[in-house]
Amino acid sequence: MAENWEKKEEYAKALAKKIKASRFKPDLILAIEKSGVPVAEVISRELGIKVESIIINRSISKKKREGRTPKALAEVIKLFQQPKVIKSESSSLKGQRVLIVDNSISSGKTIELARKTLMNRGVNAGSIQVASLYYLKGKKKIPPQFYLTHRRTRLFRPKAPKIR
């Protein structure tokens, strides 16, 4: 089910409000391509912070590409495949505070790879925080610092939050 852009923009503004109210003041927003970019752009506009993007891809099996994998199995494969960075800016970010933004977080592997990429570019691990509209809660997973909603079993899309 596709989400309506006006609602997603409203969600992103609510998330930006949470970030603004916190003590964390990022110097840069790192958007996870593709779904994180629209959310990051709204947050960027609301907070007046530069956005950079990173493309992290998960390889998809030949069976899935050809449609021979059952849908449920394909979803499991998608969740547990290791992500790979296929595009990242090469500039140094030493001393910067960075906010990683994605639309939703399921396994956390994509976020972890983005975090490692930032640390390789000179960002201190304590200067990285994560924002997401939705995340799938797990026993061993650390939740993002900023989010609108979570769920234990599967991701769902919440009602639009009230913006005051």
How confident is the model over 135-154, as pLDDT tens digits?
888 766 778 999 988 665 55
Contact 53, 33 (CB under 8 A): yes
The domain of 64 spans 5-150
Averaged pLDDT of the chain? 77
pLDDT category of residue 22 using cuts at 50, 70 and 90: very high
pLDDT at 2 over 50: no
Distance CA 43, CA 29 (A): 9
Partners of 98 in beta bridges:
28, 128
Q: In total, how many domains does the chain have?
A: 1
Mean pLDDT (whole number) for 112-126: 86
Count of H-run helices and E-run strands, the chain: 5, 6
66 found inside a domain:
yes
157 found inside a domain:
no
Residue 9 is inside which H or E element, if any? Answer: helix 5-21
36-47 and 5-21 helices, crossing angle to 10°: 50
161 found inside a domain:
no
Provide the CATH number for the domain around residue 59.
3.40.50.2020
46 found inside a domain:
yes
156 found inside a domain:
no
163 found inside a domain:
no
